[in-house]
Chains A and B, each alone.
Chain A
Amino acid sequence: KQEVTQIPAALSVPEGENLVLNCSFTDSAIYNLQWFRQDPGKGLTSLLLIQSSQREQTSGRLNASLDKSSGRSTLYIAASQPGDSATYLCAVSNTGNQFYFGTGTSLTVIP
């Protein structure tokens, strides 16, 4: 069964820093990987989706990479802002019909 782990569990950085969030998964036979953001008391907002055939995706200050063979993905956030403070979740899909979620990284960007 797929297991997804995110490191670190919590991260606090000063505004303006670049940062990397890590996601690892045990079964490399994935269909795709998706990064989400969750604000306190809110739902999940999709940030980036990487298909299994892709190596990376970019959206604004966000860049997500995927190394399927090693079971890893990273989410790079450039020039962090206080508004980036949230919990970031990665989820992998093995079949396209189910998403396995990581434990999340709680990010705080200090002004």
Chain B
Amino acid sequence: DTAVSQTPKYLVTQMGNDKSIKCEQNLGHDTMYWYKQDSKKFLKIMFSYNNKELIINETVPNRFSPKSPDKAHLNLHINSLELGDSAVYFCASSDDRRVTEAFFGQGTRLTVV
């Protein structure tokens, strides 16, 4: 079983569209994250949720809205997509009751054309 799974793996869309990326973890973790990896491979946190509550919201355009329907899911919705949104988006989770080792999904490569 995949611990952290994201869908879709690839997403190609036109500017101005609205899209969502889904993330699910089956590890029973309390905290989930969204990271963005740019063209230089640098990973930067976007959002962090703990028990369905937003705890970190880095400087991210408000076109990006995370939604956590339950502790095991953290979806990322993006409105009015721009060319600069093209990147790889990673979902991750960790258990802050213990060692806080982070587990990452396989990533979603978003290409805006």
Residues of A within 8 A of B (CB): 31-32, 34, 36, 38, 41-46, 49, 51, 87, 89, 91, 93, 96-101, 103-104
- Counting chain B CB atoms within 10 Å of each CB, the highest count among A36, A49, A96 belongs to A96
Of the A-B pairs whose beta carbons lie under 8 Å apart in the complex, a sample of 13, sorted by A's number, is A31-B100, A41-B109, A43-B90, A43-B107, A44-B90, A44-B92, A44-B104, A45-B104, A46-B102, A51-B99, A96-B96, A99-B33, A104-B41
Determine if B55 and A43 form an interchain contact, defined as CB atoms under 8 angstroms apart: no
A31 to chain B: which residues have CB within 8 Å?
Answer: 100
Interface residues of B in 46-93 (CB under 8 A from A): 48, 50, 55-56, 90, 92
Give the docked Cα–Cα distance between A46 and B99 (Å): 13
Determine if A32 and B100 form an interchain contact, defined as CB atoms under 8 angstroms apart: yes
B56 to chain A: which residues have CB within 8 Å?
Answer: 97-98
Give the docked Cα–Cα distance between A89 and B103 (Å): 13
Give the docked Cα–Cα distance between A5 and B103 (Å): 21
Determine if A98 and B101 form an interchain contact, defined as CB atoms under 8 angstroms apart: no
Determine if B105 and A43 form an interchain contact, defined as CB atoms under 8 angstroms apart: yes
Contact of B45 with A by CB under 8 A: yes
Determine if A42 and B106 form an interchain contact, defined as CB atoms under 8 angstroms apart: yes
Contact of B27 with A by CB under 8 A: no
B48 to chain A: which residues have CB within 8 Å?
Answer: 97-98
Partner of B102, one of A99, A103, A104: A99
Contact of B12 with A by CB under 8 A: no
Give the docked Cα–Cα distance between A49 and B101 (Å): 7
CB distance from B56 to the nearest CB of A (A): 6
A34 to chain B: which residues have CB within 8 Å?
Answer: 101-102
A93 to chain B: which residues have CB within 8 Å?
Answer: 100, 102
B113 to chain A: which residues have CB within 8 Å?
Answer: none
A41 to chain B: which residues have CB within 8 Å?
Answer: 109
Which 10 A-B residue pairings sit nearest by Cβ, starting from the closest? A43-B106, A44-B104, A101-B43, A96-B100, A49-B101, A96-B96, A43-B107, A43-B104, A97-B48, A98-B45
